[in-house]
Amino acid sequence: MKVFLLDTNAVSILFKPDHTLYAQCASVASGNQLFISFMTRAELALWPKQNRWGPKRAAELKKHIELFTTLFADEHTCFHWAEIVSESRSAGRLMTTADAWIAATALQWDLPLVTADYRDFEHVRALTLVPVR
């Protein structure tokens, strides 16, 4: 069994069985221990409100999120985040605050990051990526 941190897009893909990348993402996730960053949990919590979902769909998402163990930030995560943001700026690469928190979580716990947005993270030197394509 492997241990992975899932990017928000990977969790999203696994929530939508008709997604074109579902089979590839499910193959990576199957039989492995899966974690998400607090940032992913927060992004997903926004969806029902932002998209005005009804209670049934919101409950389905909440149940889906519970499949993953959430890792929360501490002082070490903050230092990783600052390093990632600084490294990104020095490399001339824009990185969203959310992506930087997800990458920081992966670095803090030394977990490979499963993502369909490989290019958003490829410049972070210390990060191990598992691309879903």
Q: Give this prediction's pTM.
A: 0.95
3-state percent helix, strand, coil for the chain, nearest multiple of 5: 55, 15, 30
The whole domain housing 32 covers 3-131
Residue 83, pLDDT score: 97
At residue 16, the pLDDT reads 96
Q: Tell me which residue of 103, 123, 81, 92 sits closest to 37, measured CA to CA.
A: 103
pLDDT in tens, 32-59: 999 999 999 999 999 999 999 999 999 9
The CATH number covering residue 32 comes to 3.40.50.1010
Residue range 94-114, pLDDT digits in tens: 999 999 999 999 999 999 999
Q: Report pLDDT digits (tens) over 26-35.
A: 999 999 999 9
Total domains in the fold of the chain: 1
**Structure tokens belonging to residue 59:** 């409950």
H helix or E strand, kind and range, residue 71: strand 69-71
Q: How far is CA 76 from the centre of its chain?
A: 18
Task: Kindly indicate the confidence band of residue 23, based on its pLDDT and cuts at 50, 70 and 90.
Answer: very high
CA angle (2 as vertex; 4, 112 as ends), nearest 5 = 35
